[in-house]
Amino acid sequence: MNFLKNITSSQLFKITSLNSISVLIKMVIGLITSKALAIFVGPTGMALVGNLRNFLTSVESVATLGFQNGIVKYVAENEDDNLEFKKIFSTLFFSLFAVTILISSVLFLFANYWSQVVFGSNFSYSYVFKVLAIVLPFYTSSIYLVAIINGLGRFKTVIYINIIGNIIGLFVTLFFIWKWFVFGALLSIIITPSLLFFVTFYYISKEISIKKAINLNLFDFKIIKNLSHYFLMALVSGIFGPIVFLAIRNQVIDTIGLKEAGFWEAMTRISTYYLLFVNTLLTVYYYPRLVQAKTNKDTKSVFWSFYKNVLPLFAVGLFIIYLLRGVMIKILFTQDFEPVSNLFLWQLVGDFLKAASCILGFQFFAKKMTKAFIVTEILSLLILYFSSIYFINIFKTEGVVIAHAFTYGMYLLVLGIYFRKSLFN
């Protein structure tokens, strides 16, 4: 009884339980929105949605300068230093504001160009990029404020924000899809995250006085210099990563078909939902602990806490998902998406390897290991791209998920060797 009491009273159990509720809500919402997408836009529309998601990830990385992880690190380290905290808050606010306005202008003025780049010449959705230009300041501000809250160690608040944001997103997405079909689906992708700003602003105003925290006189270029390492990291993963995925999807479209690209996007959506459990835990709980770890022994403790407490549960969940894949496709999509069942095995294998490697990858951000991160990330993206091209030619659409598993297998091996001292000493 004492053993169970100790487990249930631990911070990890409380965070995991609350996170599980958040992920469950997200998955239910995802089930509903995926069904709506399947009915109203079909596999073809799903592929276009995937392209916009990849583009938006790149825009997010540039607009936020890739500072999210850096913000969490520096806020966590300077939470008790009021002056330094205000310097961080003010410097980031003015920097991100200026960059966001610049990017919004580029998106708005060259909307037709971006539409052709993302969707090709057969589709014209320039208004989507004009709307994105308008809402981008709210979108980036919400990301910035959530990173501040996470850095302050308010794990529960971050999860509450995600829950509320997901619920709001559900109603907005359903309305837009019902009203404007594919165009509505694309609009919902860019408008829903921006609405999260108002939720985030409400919560952070309870933690700090924003008016007192923002002061142009406290702008410090040293902070930007320190955070520039994170921009270089984001440049690789946040910009080049989505470009690689966009190139792979276009390869699938050109060699196999737009509908098949939609099947891969459907599989990716399912993967995104169950990976939320791991990703959220890593971001709100394990990453701050890696930041605070001072020795290899401390780091080893964080690594193995994840491997012993989280990864086994995740493996069981993946096995259950594989057994129920046919049922999931019927519930989530329509009969047209039945070929997606062929993509599950290698996608699940790849996602398990991805989860196992992600905890190691977060160490790059926690300890600002810029060069090592860039080298390993570029290597993994190159492996993903070329292995995808190779396997697509042999196994068609299934080749993409085989490449996914192969890439993360290699990535885990490389990181395991690189961090062997923190893992085994």
Taking the model in full, what pTM does it have?
Answer: 0.77
For Cα atoms 161, 163, 164, give the angle at the middle one, nearest 5 degrees.
Answer: 65
pLDDT confidence of residue 115: 92
Contacts of 115 (CB under 8 A, 6+ apart): 123, 124, 125, 126, 128, 129
* Residue 322 in tokens: 């594989």
Contacts of 76 (CB under 8 A, 6+ apart): 151, 152, 153, 288, 291, 292
CA–CA gap between residue 62 and residue 140 (Å, rounded) = 10
Q: Residue 127 above 90 pLDDT?
A: yes
Q: Categorize the per-residue pLDDT at 88 as very low, low, confident or very high, splitting at 50, 70 and 90.
A: confident
Query: pLDDT by residue (tens digit) across 38-72?
Result: 889 888 888 889 889 889 988 988 888 777 767 87
Average pLDDT value for residue range 355-379: 90
Q: Residue 268 above 60 pLDDT?
A: yes
CA–CA gap between residue 169 and residue 26 (Å, rounded) = 10
Average pLDDT value for residue range 133-145: 93
CA–CA gap between residue 187 and residue 177 (Å, rounded) = 9
66 phi/psi in degrees, rounded to 5: 65, 25
CA–CA gap between residue 282 and residue 306 (Å, rounded) = 9
Length of the chain: 425
Lowest mean pLDDT among 137-146, 158-167, 187-196: 158-167
CA–CA gap between residue 391 and residue 246 (Å, rounded) = 17
Which has the higher per-residue pLDDT, 126 or 10? 126
Which has the higher per-residue pLDDT, 357 or 162? 357
Query: pLDDT by residue (tens digit) across 148-164?
Result: 988 887 878 888 898 89
Q: Tell me which DSSP letter residue 10 carries.
A: S
DSSP string, 361-374: HHHHHHTT-HHHHH
Q: Categorize the per-residue pLDDT at 3 as very low, low, confident or very high, splitting at 50, 70 and 90.
A: very low
Q: Categorize the per-residue pLDDT at 1 as very low, low, confident or very high, splitting at 50, 70 and 90.
A: very low
